[in-house]
Chain A
Amino acid sequence: MGPIMDDGRPIFIQIAEKIEDDIIAGGLPEESQVPSTNQFASFYQINPATAAKGVNLLVDQGILYKKRGIGMFVASGARETLIEKRKEQFFEQYVITMVQEARKLGITIDQLTDMVRRGDGKQ
């Protein structure tokens, strides 16, 4: 079996996110070639059509582009675009949930800010 996919979300979205992660982490630099859909399919043990759908999602967003007869490449400026998008998601997914949980436990926003600083110090 390939790396585990999350059952709760469509695979093509998860494939797109894995490619995004790789671009953000620098594993796939801008203007470098992205693995083929068949390579993704075989690595993650998923249907090639599903892998293609994930790749095409990023093409539609201008993150990847197609060079005819060669394959898919990471667009210039893709990393910056993705980081901006992820910052918004970070706010939605982590900050709001954290504030919600903090309120439940009676933690004030000042105390929460202190805790974030303390957490930063432990890095």
Chain B
Amino acid sequence: MNRIVEVNRLNKTYGSETVIQDVSFTIEENKIYGLLGRNGAGKTTIMHMITAQLFPSGGELKVFGEHPYENNRVLTRMSFIKESQKYPDVFRIADVLDIAADLYPNWDQGFAEQLIEDFRLPVKRRMKKLSRGMLSSVGIIVGLASRAPLTIFDEPYLGLDAVARNLFYERLLEDYAEHPRTVILSTHLIDEVSNMLEHVIVIDNGKILLDEEADSLRGKAFTAVGPAATVRAWAAGKQLIHEEAIGGLMSASVLGNLSAAERREAEAQGIELVPVSLQQLIVHLTSGKTNGKVAELG
């Protein structure tokens, strides 16, 4: 498997403040990655370093096997779509697409035009007159139609409604199936994208918290609900990531796979078991109460 991005002990500091600390990971060719984490965790900083918009303070960073800075061989193979993209005031949508067509060697004009229709965009309108959602749609179209070997979407859908987001997911999956490429998707809407991701990297406080295949995270955690004393006894000795109690009832989320026999045993004691979704798992792991519990996951 080819390595598209290799990050080794990457650091980024601003004065005495460390925002990225000893981060190492690899992005492999033609997979869809989710780069997840809370606001301020360092996701955008990492993406800015990969795309050569920020210098690391320390560590190694290679994209397509080379240093990305002022390196045209690397930069023409990347498409980076970010939430806060600024456009010159006089630009119309058509101008943005023309420039994208010049910039990206794999640009597919037919696909771009089909997407403009799908997202119902007024191509002649000036960028500064567009709604927030329309601006996001333009970014998504550029990101998809550029078919760049490394495509990065950083919270690409501010202002987009559920219908438009769904359209983005559908088009991305369809086009990815026909034209495989490496995609990094950073988002807070984890539940919406979790089925599309092949691999998940979770950043918390500037460090890597999780780096795992998305499918293997399913069924990794369960919430047990039942009478407090029973649940407490059942959860004893297990990796507890979250607990809540109301009246005589208690809910405890624990890490670990359960065998069919273990499930039956729990259910026989009057405990109800519910799987923890990827989003809930990340909320529990990054809410600051479970330090040190994550090592068990790997």
Using a CB–CB cutoff of 8 Å, the interface residues on chain A facing chain B are 1-2, 5-12, 38, 41-42, 44-50, 53, 92-93, 96-97, 100, 104
Q: How far is A104 from B270 in the complex, measured between Cα atoms in Å?
A: 10
The distance from the CB of A87 to the nearest CB of chain B, in whole angstroms, is 16
Whether the Cβ atoms of A10 and B198 lie closer than 8 Å is: no
A45 and B173 form a contact (CB under 8 A): yes
- Chain B contact residues: helix, strand, loop or mixed: helix
The reply to whether B222 and A47 form a contact with Cβ atoms under 8 Å apart is no
B260 near A45: Cβ-Cβ < 8 Å: no
The answer, yes or no, to whether B219 is at the interface (CB within 8 Å) is: yes
Complex: A11 Cα to B170 Cα, angstroms: 18
- Cβ distance A12 to chain B, nearest Cβ, rounded Å: 6
Shortest distance in angstroms between A106's beta carbon and chain B's nearest beta carbon?
15
CB contacts (< 8 Å) of A10 on chain B: these are: 215-216, 218-219
In Å, the complex CA distance between A107 and B107 comes to 69
Cβ contact within 8 Å between B197 and A47: yes
Selected contact of B275 from candidates A6, A44, A49, CB within 8 Å: A6
Q: Which of A42, A44, A48, A93 has the most CB of B within 10 A?
A: A48
- Please tell me which one of the listed residues B180, B218, B260 contacts residue A8 in the complex, with CB atoms under 8 A apart: B218
Give the 7 A-B residue pairs with the shortest CB-CB distance, closest first. A8-B275, A38-B177, A7-B275, A10-B215, A7-B277, A46-B195, A47-B198
Which B residues between 138 and 186 are near A, CB-CB below 8 angstroms?
A: 166, 169-170, 173-174, 176-178, 180
Tell me if B264 and A96 are in contact (CB < 8 A).
yes
What residues of chain A lie closer than 8 Å to B177, measured between beta carbons?
A: 38, 41-42, 48
Instruction: A93 to B261: give the CA distance in the assembly, Å.
Output: 10
Known A-B contacts A8-B275, A48-B176; A100 and B264 likewise in contact (beta carbons under 8 Å): yes
Q: C-beta contact mask, B212-240 vs A, less than 8 Å → 1, else 0?
A: 00111011001000000000000000000
A9 x B219 contact (CB < 8 A): yes
The reply to whether the CB of B196 lies closer than 8 angstroms to some CB of chain A is: yes
CB pair B218–A11 under 8 Å, yes or no, is yes
Interface residues in B234-286 by Cβ distance below 8 A to A read 260, 264, 267-268, 274-278
Within the complex, what minimum Cβ distance (angstroms) separates B243 from chain A? 19
What are 7 sample pairs from A and B whose C-beta atoms fall under 8 A apart?
A41-B173, A42-B170, A46-B196, A47-B32, A47-B196, A47-B198, A50-B214
* A96 neighbours in B (Cβ, 8 Å): 264
CA distance A92 to B31 in the complex (A): 37
A96 vs B264: C-alpha distance when bound (angstroms): 9
Residues of B with C-beta under 8 A to A2:
195
